């Protein structure tokens, strides 16, 4: 009977992964971020989504999105390990109107959202802290530095954010 349950758990785990092919996994917007064309206030949002494939059972991937007042797009900051194999830094910055895209099949959730004057005051601190991130060219799945180390480190630099990383943000303790 014990073997039967282990087999069921194994089969369920393998079959329940959101997608086995990262190339075809959804990256569509989740529709949870304010549209920059409608929301003129400054915005800071931090997202978490299940990591790709079986890793999503244990861990999340996190990223930071900021939008300055009256900006028509967000700036997203995230750490992605595969960039290193392409000779690029792990820390990536890009502009988008949809910072809430699915993370390779996994719908993100907001773990922090700040708007208005407080966001406007904190955005310059975030961009300055990003420029000082000590592991921009490093990535280690465990114990870190990884995608969760980055927002955690930003949160330590800027306590006014009040950032509480999710329990499954493996690597967030690396920044302590």
pLDDT range class, residue 5, cuts 50, 70, 90: very low
**Residue 44 falls inside a structural domain:** yes
**Residue 92 falls inside a structural domain:** yes
**Residue 119 falls inside a structural domain:** yes
Q: What mean pLDDT is predicted for residues 64-88?
A: 97
pTM: 0.86
**Residue 39 falls inside a structural domain:** yes
pLDDT of residue 105: 83
Task: For residue range 27-59, list pLDDT tens digits in order.
Answer: 578 899 999 999 999 999 999 998 866 655 779
Number of domain units in the chain: 1
pLDDT range class, residue 2, cuts 50, 70, 90: low
Residue tagged 């802290």 (tokens): 129
HEC readout, the chain: CHHHHHHHHHHHHHHCCCCCCCCCCCCCECCCCCCCCCCCCCEEEEEEEECCHHHHHCCEEEEEEEECCCCCCEEEEEECHHHHHHCCCCEEEEEECCCCECECCECCEEEEEEECHHHHHHHHHHHHHHHCCCCCCCCCCCCCCCCCHHHHHHHHHCHHHCCCCCCCCCCHHHHC
**Residue 143 falls inside a structural domain:** yes
Range scoring the smallest mean pLDDT among 17-21, 78-82, 85-89? 17-21
**Residue 82 falls inside a structural domain:** yes
**Residue 1 falls inside a structural domain:** no
| CB-based contacts of 118, cutoff 8 Å, min separation 6 | 160
Q: How many CA atoms lie within 13 A of 157 on its CB side?
A: 20
**Domain boundaries, position 109:** 28-175
Helix axes 149-157, 117-131, angle to 10 degrees: 120
């Amino acid at each position: 009977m014990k073997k039967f349950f282990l087999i069921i758990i194994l089969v369920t785990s393998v079959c329940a992964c959101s997608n086995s092919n990262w190339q075809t996994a959804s990256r569509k917007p989740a529709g949870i971020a304010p549209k920059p064309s409608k929301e003129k206030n400054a915005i800071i949002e931090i997202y978490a989504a299940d990591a790709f494939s079986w890793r999503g059972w244990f861990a999340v991937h996190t990223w930071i999105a900021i939008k300055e007042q009256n900006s028509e797009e967000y700036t997203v900051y995230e750490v992605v390990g595969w960039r290193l194999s392409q000779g690029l830094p792990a820390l990536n910055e890009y502009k988008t109107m949809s910072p809430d895209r699915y993370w390779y099949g996994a719908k993100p959730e907001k773990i922090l959202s700040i708007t208005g004057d407080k966001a406007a005051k904190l955005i310059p601190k975030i961009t300055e802290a990003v420029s000082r991130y000590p592991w921009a060219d490093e990535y280690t799945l465990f114990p870190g530095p990884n995608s969760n180390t980055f927002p955690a480190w930003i949160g330590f630099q800027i306590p006014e954010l009040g950032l509480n990383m999710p329990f499954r943000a493996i690597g967030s303790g690396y920044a302590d």
